[in-house]
Chain A
């Protein structure tokens, strides 16, 4: 597809000449680099509660962000109006970061390489609303049918279609159409007059709506949410103190996101404020651990054809056999440090300055059978699902909250335990990984990562993993 057929050219009549002239305006006071980011976002959501379709919302937002880099300084302005005057004004405001005459010889724009990791012909947001309502209703029905102890079900269906265009003063011109869809099911269950417990499941990705009919049905997520709530009804208090911890495959990969991923984002490392700063080439995990961040997996929630700075996403090795190999870069950090782009520059919207971010972060499979990993533990905790996590990248301390976990006694899973927080230190915790399963699984597609007030969709994954020492924050 040529630029003239791209979304912003076709819908708003924007030409390459316009883009070059806006970039010149942005560099008129002597900046070293400038880029333009156009975004058109259409979203829909449906909320079902008490089997009633209580909310149905759709809308559009549109805007452009202009960034100018001068040395290590960034100027940024945005506009929700794409008229040439407003774009020029934003460019002039961003240009103020630099002081001096225009000096950069601008490179003529050239269309970047194109590919499609999410060949979605009709995006979910382009289908009839009623079809999407019906999928959400199927989840509600299935969750209620799972067990008579289920008494509240809430289903949220959400999709969006994002059109982006990036043009840079170093000559890059790229655009992308990014569909996204997700179903989430929240269930409350209780024994007669007992305390309610909750279960949550969901999934999606950059798929067509048929994915919910052919690959992962609303019933699949509904049953999973209901199952988790029912399991919790019999849960006992979590242990407190250091334990052997086994992580189940899939979503518990959030460990990698918190313990390792954030600490390897180049902005923190360039500034020397990450616990991983200056540790490339050092052993930061057990030799069994190889951790990858890969934005190129077809249809995944964290995948991108091009990042929000116009680079193609790629597969980046973060840790190889326990040795720290590299950081995740954005334009600013790679300009300053001379590092190669990793396709990791992302932003929440046109109102936000891009930062280095993760895409899909996971650990490669090892050799152990998952049953053997569990069997090896005389006493410990098995975590099947997590609610989320957080990290202090400077000290390296991270936590994550187990939403479904079980005691391991004599190599067997016994009783389910209630919400427990696990805490560890990034560069230390992964040194205690002593077994890695052969069952790598990626999560179902609900992850949202927050950093400095910006949220972006991400994926995680992990095989079954044994960690010999980790602090579990229970009460028992």
Chain B
């Protein structure tokens, strides 16, 4: 990483020599491995490493950027020349610029993002995990007759960031994941579903048998799905689907959408926008989790930002540029790959569960006479400008507090505004499986469109 930090600093120095007034450089490196098995046999093995560098330069208030996969001195020299040339062609943007030096920094301590174990895992052990996950799914029920396989993925990544205002930092991270995708058939109709586990190291994964069994249970309960009549009913989102609502909310609270007034939450800071039960947090400082990092992609230290507290909108998620546009301070949410300008990302973005009103999922279910428990959503029918929401849904119909029969080929629709204020119950089943996490959520009423 020291070597790559020097490459980044050299790129910045060259940019300043060529007339840039400020510059920042990101370098990433990664080694990926993936193994997939299908019907007990290895299907693919993939292994490789790659690196890339991205540079953003400012000449006064004009900005240009470039990237390369060629980290040789000649490759870096061309990247620098390209960014500086482009900065002379763009328009002055009064709000452009790097963070103030006082805003730069990195949070201390071991964030537990890296495990030495991952590099030393044998290929056989990884294939074995994928095989066992798939086998557990296939043996669960005779109706599971086919499979899209089991797979194991691991990744070792490094990231370097440096800028002309004196910041230089780097960190490494690892992850492993294991998944199974069984296919079940009944009366000539097929369904598939999946389950996965994700951890910073191999030992943090759920057992392959549990992954396979969970995937199998999920696909079996989908068999024999019917379309229901169009009606308005309570909707329960299982945690995996409740997470998708948080993704929609992220799109609506990120600074670019806010300053462009392209969000139904623009201008709503301090207002009650959701049920009292909603407290939404962004926190990139939590040890070992998947949204954790020591600093953001502009070199601003990670932090905890309450976005919604007891239904009141408290903060947007901002990088330096969007903060300046809004007359606010960055929240340390700059995010970028190696190409282009910094956008906005989230850390660990989750609904906080208050034990005073969180309920066990079964208890929430027990309170519903006639409703829809959603286990999968498809399509892109969420408009965060207006809040209009309409997506294809799969799940289980609720009758008298119990999951009665599977449902598919229907949609659920409403508006995000009504859904937020209509949150009736929150589950106590929050778990961090990825960087966005939510418990079971029940919404008072939405339109299910079917027959």
- Chain A contact residues, CB within 8 Å of chain B: 43, 45, 47, 49, 51-63, 72-80, 90, 93, 96-97, 129-130, 133, 151-152, 154, 188, 195-198, 238, 240-242, 271-273, 275, 351, 353, 387-392, 394-395, 397-401, 418-421, 423-425, 471-475
Selected interface stretch from B205-213, B388-396, B432-440: B388-396
Return the CB mask of B244-264 against A: 1 if under 8 Å, else 0. Answer: 000000000000000011101
Q: Mark B33-76, 1 if CB is under 8 A from A, else 0.
A: 00000100111111110111010000000011111111000000
Partner of B68, one of A59, A79, A133, A353: A59
Which chain A residues border B190 with CB–CB below 8 Å? Answer: 273, 275, 394-395
Task: Tell me, rounded to whole Å, the shortest Cβ–Cβ distance linking A141 to chain B.
Answer: 13
CB of B77, distance to nearest CB on chain A (Å):
13
Question: 11 interchain pairs (CB within 8 A)?
Answer: A58-B82, A76-B44, A130-B89, A196-B386, A271-B38, A392-B394, A395-B225, A398-B378, A419-B386, A423-B392, A471-B410
Contact B146 A56 (CB under 8 A): no
A58, B146: Cα distance in complex, Å: 45
Q: How far, in angstroms, from A125 to B43 measured CA to CA in the complex?
A: 38
Query: Measured between alpha carbons, how far is A57 from B341 in the docked complex, in Å?
Result: 8
Known: A93-B47, A421-B413. A53 touches B148 (CB 8 A): no
Please state if B411 and A397 are interface contacts (CB–CB under 8 Å): no
Does B409 sit within 8 A of A, measured CB to CB?
yes
Q: Which residues of A contact B392 (CB under 8 A)?
A: 390, 397-399, 421, 423, 473
Residues of B participating in the A interface, judged by any CB pair closer than 8 Å: 38, 41-48, 50-52, 54, 63-70, 78-79, 82, 85-87, 89-93, 96, 123, 146, 148, 183, 189-192, 222, 225, 227, 230, 260-262, 264, 338-341, 376, 378-381, 383, 385-386, 388, 390-392, 394, 408-414, 447, 449-451
Q: With CB as the reference atom, state the residue of chain B lying closest to A61.
A: B69
Q: Which residues of A contact B230 (CB under 8 A)?
A: 240-241
Inter-subunit contact A353/B44 (CB<8 Å): yes
Chain A, Cβ-Cβ closest to B389: A419
Contact indicator B260/A152 (Cβ below 8 Å): yes
CA–CA, A400 to B447, complex, Å?
Answer: 18
Q: Given A57-B339, A275-B190, A62–B69 Cβ distance below 8 Å?
A: yes
Tell me the complex Cα distance, A137–B338, Å. 25
**Which residues of B lie under 8 Å from residue A472 when comparing CB positions?**
411, 449
- With A54-B93, A241-B230, A399-B391 known as contacts, the answer to whether A75 contacts B82 (CB < 8 A) is no
Known: A241-B450, A471-B449, A474-B390. A399 touches B340 (CB 8 A): no
B66 engages A58 (CB within 8 Å): yes
Pick from A77, A418, A471: contact of B409, CB under 8 Å: A471
- Which residues of chain A have C-beta atoms less than 8 A from B85's C-beta? 129
CB pair A241 B449 closer than 8 Å: yes
Q: Which residues on A sit within 8 Å (CB–CB) of B451?
A: 241-242, 471
Residues A401 and B66 in contact, CB atoms below 8 Å apart:
no
Considering the complex, give the chain A residue whose CB is closest to the CB of B61: A52
Partner of A399, one of B225, B260, B381: B381
Q: Check A353/B51 contact, CB under 8 A, given A57-B66, A397-B378, A421-B379.
A: no
How far is the CB of B65 from the nearest CB of chain A, in Å? 4
Assess whether B51 is in contact with A80, with CB atoms less than 8 Å apart.
yes
Structural contact, B261 and A151, CB atoms closer than 8 A: yes
Q: Is the interface of A mostly helix, strand, loop or mixed?
A: strand
Q: Are B341 and A55 in contact (CB under 8 A)?
A: yes
A79 with B48, Cβ < 8 A, contacts A197-B386, A241-B450, A273-B148 known: yes
Contact yes or no, A240 B413, CB < 8 A: yes
State whether B48 touches A53 (Cβ < 8 A).
Answer: no
Contacting residues, chain B, for A51 (C-beta < 8 A): 91
| B429 shortest CB reach to chain A, Å | 25
Known: A271-B38, A272-B146. A471 touches B411 (CB 8 A): yes
Question: Do B45 and A57 touch across chains, with their CB atoms under 8 A apart?
Answer: no
User: Closest CB of chain B to A186's CB: distance in Å?
Assistant: 8
B27 to chain A, nearest CB (A): 13
> In the complex, which residue of chain A has the Cβ closest to the Cβ of B65?
A57
Judge whether B408 and A195 touch: CB under 8 Å.
no
In the assembly, what is the distance between CA of A399 and CA of B408, in Å? 12
Q: By the criterion CB–CB under 8 Å, are A387 and B409 in contact?
A: no
Are A73 and B43 interface neighbours, CB within 8 A? yes
**A residues within 8 A CB of B262?**
152, 188, 196, 198
Q: Which residues of B contact A394 (CB under 8 A)?
A: 183, 190-192
Q: Please indicate the chain B residues that have their CB under 8 angstroms from the CB of A388 in the complex.
A: 379-380
Bound form: Cα–Cα A90–B45 in Å = 12
| Given A238-B390, A399-B379: A129 and B89 interface contact (C-beta under 8 Å) | yes
State whether A423 touches B48 (Cβ < 8 A): no
- Contact between A419 and B66, CB atoms less than 8 A apart: no
A475 touches B146 (CB 8 A): no
Answer whether A78 and B261 are a contact pair too, CB < 8 Å, given A129-B86, A196-B385, A394-B192.
no
Residue from B46, B92, B192, B379 within 8 A of A390 (CB atoms)? B379
For B86, list chain A residues within 8 Å (CB).
56-58, 129
Q: Which of B44, B189, B192 contacts A73 (CB 8 A)?
A: B44
CA gap between A238 and B447 in the complex, in Å: 11
- B68: which A residues are within 8 A, CB to CB? 59-61
9 A-B pairs with the lowest CB-CB distances in the bound complex, closest first = A473-B411, A399-B379, A59-B67, A399-B392, A240-B449, A421-B381, A241-B230, A394-B192, A61-B69
| B66 near A59: Cβ-Cβ < 8 Å | yes
Residue in B41, B82, B261, B378 whose CB lies within 8 Å of A188: B261
**Distance in angstroms between the alpha carbons of A392 and B376 in the assembled complex:** 10
Asked if B54 contacts A59 (CB within 8 A), the reply is yes
> In the complex, how many angstroms separate the beta carbon of B247 from the nearest chain A beta carbon?
15
A401 contacts B69, C-beta separation under 8 Å: no
4 more CB-based (< 8 A) A-B contacts, given A97-B44, A196-B261, A275-B190:
A74-B45, A80-B69, A425-B409, A471-B409
Nearest CB of B to A474, in Å:
6
- C-alpha gap A220/B379 in the complex (Å): 28
Q: Given A56-B90, A61-B68, verify A471-B261 contact (CB < 8 Å).
A: no
